[in-house]
Amino acid sequence: MTSESLLELLTALQEGKATPDEVLKRLIHLPYEDLDFAKIDHHRPLRTGMPEVIYGAGKTDEQVMEIFAQMAAKGGNVLATRVSSDAAAAVIGKFPAASHHAIARTLTLVQEKRPARPGMLAVLCAGTSDLPVAEEAAITAELMGNTVTRIYDVGVAGLHRLLAQREVLAEAKVIIVCAGMEGALPTVVAGLVRAPVIAVPTSVGYGASFGGIAALLGMLNSCAPNIAVVNIENGFGAACFATSILAVKET
Amino acid sequence: MTSESLLELLTALQEGKATPDEVLKRLIHLPYEDLDFAKIDHHRPLRTGMPEVIYGAGKTDEQVMEIFAQMAAKGGNVLATRVSSDAAAAVIGKFPAASHHAIARTLTLVQEKRPARPGMLAVLCAGTSDLPVAEEAAITAELMGNTVTRIYDVGVAGLHRLLAQREVLAEAKVIIVCAGMEGALPTVVAGLVRAPVIAVPTSVGYGASFGGIAALLGMLNSCAPNIAVVNIENGFGAACFATSILAVKET
Amino acid sequence: MTSESLLELLTALQEGKATPDEVLKRLIHLPYEDLDFAKIDHHRPLRTGMPEVIYGAGKTDEQVMEIFAQMAAKGGNVLATRVSSDAAAAVIGKFPAASHHAIARTLTLVQEKRPARPGMLAVLCAGTSDLPVAEEAAITAELMGNTVTRIYDVGVAGLHRLLAQREVLAEAKVIIVCAGMEGALPTVVAGLVRAPVIAVPTSVGYGASFGGIAALLGMLNSCAPNIAVVNIENGFGAACFATSILAVKET
Amino acid sequence: MTSESLLELLTALQEGKATPDEVLKRLIHLPYEDLDFAKIDHHRPLRTGMPEVIYGAGKTDEQVMEIFAQMAAKGGNVLATRVSSDAAAAVIGKFPAASHHAIARTLTLVQEKRPARPGMLAVLCAGTSDLPVAEEAAITAELMGNTVTRIYDVGVAGLHRLLAQREVLAEAKVIIVCAGMEGALPTVVAGLVRAPVIAVPTSVGYGASFGGIAALLGMLNSCAPNIAVVNIENGFGAACFATSILAVKET
Amino acid sequence: MTSESLLELLTALQEGKATPDEVLKRLIHLPYEDLDFAKIDHHRPLRTGMPEVIYGAGKTDEQVMEIFAQMAAKGGNVLATRVSSDAAAAVIGKFPAASHHAIARTLTLVQEKRPARPGMLAVLCAGTSDLPVAEEAAITAELMGNTVTRIYDVGVAGLHRLLAQREVLAEAKVIIVCAGMEGALPTVVAGLVRAPVIAVPTSVGYGASFGGIAALLGMLNSCAPNIAVVNIENGFGAACFATSILAVKET
Amino acid sequence: MTSESLLELLTALQEGKATPDEVLKRLIHLPYEDLDFAKIDHHRPLRTGMPEVIYGAGKTDEQVMEIFAQMAAKGGNVLATRVSSDAAAAVIGKFPAASHHAIARTLTLVQEKRPARPGMLAVLCAGTSDLPVAEEAAITAELMGNTVTRIYDVGVAGLHRLLAQREVLAEAKVIIVCAGMEGALPTVVAGLVRAPVIAVPTSVGYGASFGGIAALLGMLNSCAPNIAVVNIENGFGAACFATSILAVKET
Amino acid sequence: MTSESLLELLTALQEGKATPDEVLKRLIHLPYEDLDFAKIDHHRPLRTGMPEVIYGAGKTDEQVMEIFAQMAAKGGNVLATRVSSDAAAAVIGKFPAASHHAIARTLTLVQEKRPARPGMLAVLCAGTSDLPVAEEAAITAELMGNTVTRIYDVGVAGLHRLLAQREVLAEAKVIIVCAGMEGALPTVVAGLVRAPVIAVPTSVGYGASFGGIAALLGMLNSCAPNIAVVNIENGFGAACFATSILAVKET
Amino acid sequence: MTSESLLELLTALQEGKATPDEVLKRLIHLPYEDLDFAKIDHHRPLRTGMPEVIYGAGKTDEQVMEIFAQMAAKGGNVLATRVSSDAAAAVIGKFPAASHHAIARTLTLVQEKRPARPGMLAVLCAGTSDLPVAEEAAITAELMGNTVTRIYDVGVAGLHRLLAQREVLAEAKVIIVCAGMEGALPTVVAGLVRAPVIAVPTSVGYGASFGGIAALLGMLNSCAPNIAVVNIENGFGAACFATSILAVKET
């Protein structure tokens, strides 16, 4: 039932063509939602700065191209994650304003500029192999309007590299930490700061790393209290979650 | 090396009793930290509102009693989690001002009042069996200075109970959602709000719930982007993480 | 918003005290559900023959007793599963009309008789150790108004015992099969009949049975097409699911 | 021993060429089955509407082609699942009457029309990536004589899309729900209806989805009582199981 | 249908009271088995030397006592495994001829003597903690009529103890090897002999032994070709399987 | 120390050129084995009928070709398992007397004929997808001098096919049963016979079959006592183990 | 064959009572080991400083007492691990010279003093709950003649506590690090030193720590190269391994 | 803050341009490390004999080439592990002095010769398929200045091959043992020697070897006390750890 037909129903009541009981009976069976709810939902991306998103894994280059074009036509920002180089080249060919972030395996198209959200977000990773996940997080967060500081290659087996960044860490409002193997970096970072730390396990490692399970378990069992965890390699989700935290300041 | 002896060293330099090179050589071997670092750390609980915490699991009633007394003597707030009824009774006997929250299995002693932190924190759980975890989160969060709204028994198999709370959910700045079994509640909640949702798997269930693993996996794989997860039954950690988010507003 | 106040709102519209637009605006913000929805929900047990249910595991004897009394007061049928002998004795002491099914670890109280649903439900189990689960299923199904035939101790290592029951199996409209260890019985049964077979893994076994995981996996991987599986030891759920199937005939 | 030779044996008895004891002795050693049993089995597909089925995974295009031709020659309906595009093209080339359902990865050949079985079957999926499994279920169910309503892309992170379909759901006699990731959709659906819900985990997801294990566990641990589960990605099996339920109405 | 009524049917045919076609029709629907099949089955234990067996785990002392008495009354040998000391004492009190093997946690009652089966069976174990499983195997095998040689405490970390037994090993026709922890003993033994080696994982160990899984995996992955494995702690099954091998010589 | 030099040592003693003490001292440090031991070992294949074996998985076609040629040069029988079609073609090109068994993925070269070992070995499999494993077992067993009867496609979802083979099964001295998916066939077979049954899990299946783990667990937890299990897909090992059993008859 | 009888054999050869060929034939069948080998083995504990060891888990107090007395009678040092308080009290009652280390759950009896092995061994643990494992390691190492420095409660969430110990760590020749939960401490320590680090996972933690699996995986996947791991809670093994390293200096 | 600017600060103090308190205040905020720390770190490889290392897995040939060139330019030794044949050929083309070890999949470039470290390191493996891991360990250890003895193809199913190497084993100061499948070799070796044994699981095997998990568990559960374990296939790590042990002798 659309709000239009709902209006008709109410008008019928007003005009005496229906009784309150009849209307009540119909309203009780009113579906949970109505079109206005959906309409609001339709407007959400524009209001929140959340871009349209394509998850490229498992899609053909043609599918990525087609969906990207559809989304771009809506006029907002577009983000495509896990895209192949070929798909990226094809999209850039058609949308020269789009940017391909090769390491992050992402494509972005900025059609709406807006002032940066206050509060710095730091993105850390343990080793260079964690870069694709860290960059996916950083690129996503930037497209969502955040100010991002990258602190890479600060694994716990060489603590001095991490400790050298203590002042920057202290300024961050939220910290995303990507690590594979034993996944200890988020715990060590969380012990140095008070900001919330979002831990992202990566699949970096071999043997008993089990594609990121070792890092995931390490992060879930962290002895630091200011840590929460997202799915293995979910850099995109970490950025969304960080944005939802930084948006708390605005509310 | 204490800051005192460091001062002596510098004074010796000032007084010409040591050369800059000699002092430099000693400073290079200065341990990473010094006592002043520890002193700052010592002051941290009072400044951040973080209480002293005892994890009662695996400790005898006597040990809980003894550690509680030591912590209480410091003058700050004290929180003991996973305490038995017997240990609780013993502590209350000696500290009548302490409170025992039986369902949450926690003891609290408030010796420092302070104004509530702005921003409402909602704590949800799916079923009554999830209450111990949800209450551990709620009690912990309250002791840390947050305003908590409890929304219990709103499991996804009866959606209308959850949907009836939509307005309250919309006001929450951060939401903690505890659920066992299939662990779907955090995902459904996250689809209804923009605030960050902290998912806490509980061990409620049997058979293939594997003591909370099913719920944990369900939450890690959530299709909603504004979710992060803590360890199974870690209500305490969820409250700490939520506090670290709400404290972002203050900075 | 209750249906009463909703009626008031509509009456106000009818009486010209409100405009359709004003009412529409309020209705759009109407919470998903209202009390009438809950009222319908409240009536559901009586209409569907679904009893009030208490899951006794993890509850004290006193809690079981108290909840049982509350449910019995509503006048419908009551089912308590996973109850201890002591809890059962206490309930029977207060509700002499209740029955304790010791092997099934269940309590039932029939306060509403109703004609049996057409269609026979067969409940099978592989060995005597599977009886608690099979009986939980059978007792539950009977309380929900079904006609149940029990076929026990027909494990696949002695096929002739099962084959001797072929005629009874052929008459069943739905079949619940409980088995632990290698969990092969549902597959063999499903190869002999056309009716839907609901497989219930039990935790019977030791070593690599892993508390029912071996049986669960065996059933999920069945080479027969007319099988679906419920959680380990979930005799109650199997009976509910079977009832939902037999109720299809009624609709 | 064929029924022919059995007849000879009985005739010999009738004609006095054998004694009852001699015949009895032979009959006791009669193998469990005889050819007539097989003959009945041969007739089964025609009577039940069950098509001949080829599982294409792991078979070469040539093997699929050859087996398809053999089955088609029997005159009944034929279903091939998990077939490659190449195999499909080859089969269509030879059997122009066959249909290739690309998303479902299936081939169907209808050689026997028959009236639709009463009772609507709804097939739902959470996201577009679940389509191959959902379509395998839908196509299979249709070929088996059922009326299927497809409700796709109604994941729980956007509840309004699902709630908009409540009336259709209420009309379904059986519901198949396919979902990957956290696998919460079947639970939410089962809370909205009374019909039996068949949950099909898909391998959609990454990281800790473990190829569908997270969804499988979520479904097995559902807090709704009218759910049963089939193997990961087993759309075919779900359709068979649903058909066995709808056939209950006919018996 | 009993063989008696089958005889009646055949006699009716012989006497011209029934036609072959009528009898054929009934026979086609003859259930898979008949009472004569069961009767043969009833005789099996006496012929094969297989004792009546009670699996004591999960049974009360009273249940063990009662079943033991029923089985003893049949006149054959009786074996009860996994029995408590109390149950054993109770049984011995009533059946003084029964023997309690405390380490093996078994009770045996020999009521039928018979000549030993030719062919020596060696039972080995790695450490003294494996004794309960090894003795369960040895006692079971002896009761089934085999000649058993025990070779205990010959773990692979002290090879000389095992190598000192090479001559005895060379004489064994079948070898049962029980080991926990890393489970390497069966592999080393199998490299020294040509006889079939039955590997029995035990739950001896801690931490990453996972209750016998490490030993089980070690045995399944043995690089020796003359090994097969039974379930964790299944000493009884190993003895049965060994007996089935030694019985091959008799056939 | 070779037996030759050992002989020299002893001769020196005999001739008075060494004292018993000197010889004793050298003998105490004699390595565990000497060349004669190895020599016996060298002769083993010829005496036991065990062929030279190449495990082709992970080897290049060239490596398979080269090792095959080396082994063939020794004059005994040669078996290569898990070989590609290309490797097979290359070997056949050079050794026209060799045979390629495409389904079994094996190559055999018979250079030594010998009388068949008494005792029939039955090899069963559940479905046609299990054929590679079953044929690997059958071909290996035949090359080792056994008489093999193949009984294929007798899965438990259509019991009549298996039951039709009861007489053949009863004649087998040892039975190898290969099955994937739920792995129930070995249990059902073991309930019909007294011979030892060697269960071989295959990786046939999908989803929760986990590459054969479901079948493996099903077989380890079999409720039949005359079953033992080998590694997933280890058709070769099953044949070796079966041979070691049948060889018991000869000793 | 004992060395005595071997001497007789050689003397027989010397005296012309046997030929070299006869002796050679017997020697070829000489078992792998002889008594002299065992005799050397018998002396090993005294020479290496390895005490006699009792693993108390799963043993009754009486068994511990009895074995302890047997070992003490040999005159060397005795170590009992995982002993209950009652068993400890009983042993101390009889052996007043023995020491009970309650936290380490061990008993030691020193009957042989010997000079400390050069090289300091540091034993670290992350939290106080790890003490039983750390103390088991420390007590064992001390009894084996090593000099041990304990550094406890230096978890990675508060790095300054660990960093304050850098100079002590730099002096250690070998370091044992015990940690539960995420198990990150060994990695951080290994990044600060060059000495070999032996990582010991403990079962400290809950939920997804899975009894030490998370810590075990974290340690196996360490990004530091100078780490190796022992079994969960295997403090004893870590001490033995450390001793074997420090003994390298002596050789 | 560099040591240079630190020197300036101290000189300012010496010259009276700053007070001790001012300097103290700045020093308290001195970051944990300064450039001098890094400089020391920079010198570490030269002093310890640790080469520069490239982990080639997941890197393109170009990346390997580029990093190799950068590292070679520093003048020390260079090691690249897990490199493809193509990458190796490219590097050799540019650095003719580099060596490609094809089986070990490593590249080495020796630019600094230094005397061998005392103490022999034995590297063992069970089968030829374990060679890549064993050779990675051996090549790495040699480049780090150790003397390596290779003992290959000594699996436990043919003990005489291993026992023949007892004298060499007795001379080794540290032993690395690589094995897949059941992983029993390290345990057997550790029972024969007193030196520390470093166990390296390999992924050799199939089915229930689970890519090396079976071997890993076998090694972690070893009944020998002088064993520690590194990650699956971590030959490089084993060599580093062995070097850290042999370096203990030097300190």
> Do residues A32 and C50 lie in contact, with contact meaning Cβ atoms separated by under 8 Å?
no
Q: Is F6's CB within 8 Å of G16's CB?
A: no
- Tell whether B238 and B161 lie within a shared domain: yes
Burial of G31 (0-12, 13-18, 19+ CB in 10 A): middle
The predicted pLDDT at position H12 comes to 84
Q: Is D16's CB within 8 Å of E14's CB?
A: yes
How many CB atoms lie under 10 A from the CB of residue E27?
A: 22
| CB < 8 Å to E40, chain C | none
pLDDT in tens, G72-121: 998 889 999 999 999 999 999 999 999 999 999 999 999 988 788 889 99
Q: Please state, in angstroms and as integers, the Cα–Cα distance from residue G189 to each residue in F56, G134, G159, G170, G227, following that order.
A: 44, 15, 10, 10, 10
C-alpha distance from B239 to closest chain C C-alpha (Å): 25
Does residue F29 carry a pLDDT above 70? Answer: no
**Partner B contacted by A45 (CB < 8 A):** no
**Partner B contacted by H28 (CB < 8 A):** yes
SS3 assignment, position G235: helix
C-alpha distance from D37 to closest chain A C-alpha (Å): 47
The beta strand positions in B73-216, using DSSP E, are 78-81, 99-101, 106-109, 120-125, 147-151, 174-179, 197-201
* Nearest of F188, F183, F182 to residue F169 by alpha carbon: F188
E225 or F6, which is more confident? E225
* Termini Cα distance of chain E: 33
Of H196, H231, H247, the CB nearest to G244: H196
Token pair for G158: 């508060």
What is the rounded distance in angstroms from the CA atom of residue G2 to the CA atom of residue D89? 79
Domain annotation covers residue H1: no
Confidence of residue G40 (pLDDT cuts 50, 70, 90): very low
DSSP code of residue C177? E
Confidence of residue D27 (pLDDT cuts 50, 70, 90): low
- Tell whether A24 and A70 lie within a shared domain: yes
Confidence of residue C5 (pLDDT cuts 50, 70, 90): low
Last residue of a domain, one of E59, E79, E109: E109
Q: How many CA atoms lie within 13 A of C104 on its CB side?
A: 23
Of G160, G206, G208, the CB nearest to B216: G208
Chain A neighbours, 3+ Cβ pairs < 8 A:
B, C, D, G, H
DSSP code of residue D32? S
**What is the number of helices (H) and of strands (E) in chain E?**
11, 9
**Partner F contacted by H159 (CB < 8 A):** yes
pLDDT in tens, F107-127: 999 998 878 888 999 999 998
How many CB atoms lie under 10 A from the CB of residue B28?
A: 14
Supply the mean pLDDT for chain F. 85
| Lowest model confidence (mean pLDDT) among A105-114, A172-181, E233-242 | A105-114
| CB < 8 Å to H32, chain B | 32-33
Supply the mean pLDDT for chain H. 85
Q: Tell me whether strands E99-101 and E106-109 are parallel, antiparallel or unpaired.
A: antiparallel
* ipTM, 2 dp: 0.83
SS3 assignment, position F124: strand
What is the rounded distance in angstroms from the CA atom of residue G250 to the CA atom of residue G205? 39
Chain F neighbours, 3+ Cβ pairs < 8 A:
C, D, E, G, H
**Partner F contacted by C181 (CB < 8 A):** yes
Q: Which residues of chain E have pLDDT under 50?
A: 1-3, 29-48
Of C6, C7, C28, the CB nearest to A3: C28
pLDDT in tens, B176-206: 999 999 999 999 999 889 899 999 999 999 9
SS3 assignment, position C126: coil
Burial of B126 (0-12, 13-18, 19+ CB in 10 A): buried
**Partner A contacted by C12 (CB < 8 A):** no
Confidence of residue B33 (pLDDT cuts 50, 70, 90): very low
The predicted pLDDT at position F24 comes to 67
> Do residues H121 and H177 lie in contact, with contact meaning Cβ atoms separated by under 8 Å?
no
**Partner A contacted by D167 (CB < 8 A):** yes
What is the rounded distance in angstroms from the CA atom of residue A80 to the CA atom of residue D157? 20
CA-nearest residue to F214 within chain D is D231
**Partner B contacted by H11 (CB < 8 A):** yes
* Nearest of E217, E171, E220, E210 to residue E194 by alpha carbon: E171
Supply the mean pLDDT for chain C. 85
% of chain B surpassing 90 pLDDT: 58
The predicted pLDDT at position D7 comes to 73
- Tell whether B89 and B145 lie within a shared domain: no
What is the rounded distance in angstroms from the CA atom of residue A28 to the CA atom of residue C5? 13
Domain annotation covers residue E160: yes
Q: Is G220's CB within 8 Å of A207's CB?
A: yes
- Tell whether B32 and B127 lie within a shared domain: no
C90 or G248, which is more confident? C90
**Partner H contacted by G245 (CB < 8 A):** yes
Q: Please state, in angstroms and as integers, the Cα–Cα distance from residue F19 to each residue in D235, E228, G13, G28, H125, following that order.
A: 83, 49, 10, 20, 40
CA-nearest residue to H130 within chain F is F58
- Tell whether C134 and C224 lie within a shared domain: yes
- Tell whether E85 and E187 lie within a shared domain: no
- Tell whether E242 and E151 lie within a shared domain: yes
Chain G neighbours, 3+ Cβ pairs < 8 A:
A, B, E, F, H
| Lowest model confidence (mean pLDDT) among C52-56, D207-211, G196-200, H195-199 | C52-56
Q: Which of A8-17, E81-90, F13-22 has the highest mean pLDDT?
A: E81-90
> Do residues D31 and F161 lie in contact, with contact meaning Cβ atoms separated by under 8 Å?
no
Chain C / chain F CB contacts < 8 angstroms: 116
The predicted pLDDT at position D251 comes to 61
Of C156, C214, C221, the CB nearest to F221: C214
Amino acid identity, position C89:
A
Determine the residue among E248, E250, E251 to mutate to test chain F binding: the one whose Cβ has the most chain F Cβ atoms within 10 Å. E248
Q: Please state, in angstroms and as integers, the Cα–Cα distance from residue F93 to each residue in D126, F71, F73, following that order.
A: 55, 16, 16
- Tell whether G169 and G228 lie within a shared domain: yes
Going E2 to E6 to E9 to E11, the CA torsion angle's sign is negative
Expressed as residue numbers, the domain containing B17 is 6-109
Q: Please state, in angstroms and as integers, the Cα–Cα distance from residue C9 to each residue in A21, A30, B160, C4, following that order.
A: 11, 16, 22, 9
Give the mean pLDDT of D14-29: 72
Domain annotation covers residue B61: yes
Number of domains in chain D: 2
Phi/psi of residue D184, nearest 5 degrees: -90, -15
> Do residues E186 and E222 lie in contact, with contact meaning Cβ atoms separated by under 8 Å?
yes
Confidence of residue B60 (pLDDT cuts 50, 70, 90): confident
The predicted pLDDT at position G32 comes to 38
What is the rounded distance in angstroms from the CA atom of residue E135 to the CA atom of residue D15? 62
> Do residues H166 and H196 lie in contact, with contact meaning Cβ atoms separated by under 8 Å?
no
- Tell whether C80 and C151 lie within a shared domain: no
> Do residues A104 and A56 lie in contact, with contact meaning Cβ atoms separated by under 8 Å?
no
Of H31, H201, H211, the CB nearest to A163: H31
Q: How many CA atoms lie within 13 A of G148 on its CB side?
A: 24
Give the mean pLDDT of C124-130: 92
Determine the residue among H3, H8, H14, H25 to mutate to test chain B binding: the one whose Cβ has the most chain B Cβ atoms within 10 Å. H14
Edge-to-edge order in the sheet of strand E106-109 = E52-55, E78-81, E106-109, E99-101
Burial of B55 (0-12, 13-18, 19+ CB in 10 A): middle
**Partner F contacted by G7 (CB < 8 A):** yes
CA dihedral B122→B123→B128→B132, nearest 10 degrees, is: -150
Domain annotation covers residue E114: no
Residues facing residue A124 across a β-bridge: A151, A177
Domain annotation covers residue G214: yes
The predicted pLDDT at position C160 comes to 80
pLDDT in tens, D57-109: 888 898 899 999 988 998 889 999 999 999 999 999 999 999 999 999 999 99
**Partner F contacted by C164 (CB < 8 A):** no
Chain C neighbours, 3+ Cβ pairs < 8 A:
A, B, D, E, F
> Do residues A56 and A81 lie in contact, with contact meaning Cβ atoms separated by under 8 Å?
yes
Domain annotation covers residue H83: yes
Determine the residue among C29, C33, C203 to mutate to test chain B binding: the one whose Cβ has the most chain B Cβ atoms within 10 Å. C33
Q: Please state, in angstroms and as integers, the Cα–Cα distance from residue G181 to each residue in G2, G158, G219, following that order.
A: 53, 15, 11
Token pair for E65: 């006592």
Last residue of a domain, one of A77, A109, A141: A109
**Partner G contacted by E57 (CB < 8 A):** no
- Tell whether A125 and A169 lie within a shared domain: yes
Domain annotation covers residue B78: yes
SS3 assignment, position E104: coil
| Lowest model confidence (mean pLDDT) among B127-131, F20-24, F228-232 | F20-24
The predicted pLDDT at position F34 comes to 33
The predicted pLDDT at position E4 comes to 54
Amino acid identity, position G125:
C
> Do residues D222 and D190 lie in contact, with contact meaning Cβ atoms separated by under 8 Å?
yes
| Lowest model confidence (mean pLDDT) among A170-179, A215-224, B160-169, F189-198 | B160-169
| CB < 8 Å to D30, chain C | none
The predicted pLDDT at position H95 comes to 96
- Tell whether A95 and A149 lie within a shared domain: no
- CATH, residue B166: 3.40.50.1970
Does residue C40 carry a pLDDT above 80? Answer: no
| Lowest model confidence (mean pLDDT) among A130-139, E94-103, F67-76, H22-31 | H22-31
Last residue of a domain, one of E81, E109, E137: E109
pLDDT in tens, F32-85: 333 233 223 333 343 345 788 888 888 889 889 999 998 899 888 999 999 999
- Tell whether G90 and G29 lie within a shared domain: yes
**Partner C contacted by F215 (CB < 8 A):** yes
CA-nearest residue to E203 within chain G is G58
The predicted pLDDT at position D58 comes to 81
Domain annotation covers residue C114: no
| CB < 8 Å to A48, chain B | 194
> Do residues C219 and C227 lie in contact, with contact meaning Cβ atoms separated by under 8 Å?
yes
For the entire predicted model, the pTM comes to 0.85
Supply the mean pLDDT for chain B. 85
The predicted pLDDT at position A23 comes to 75
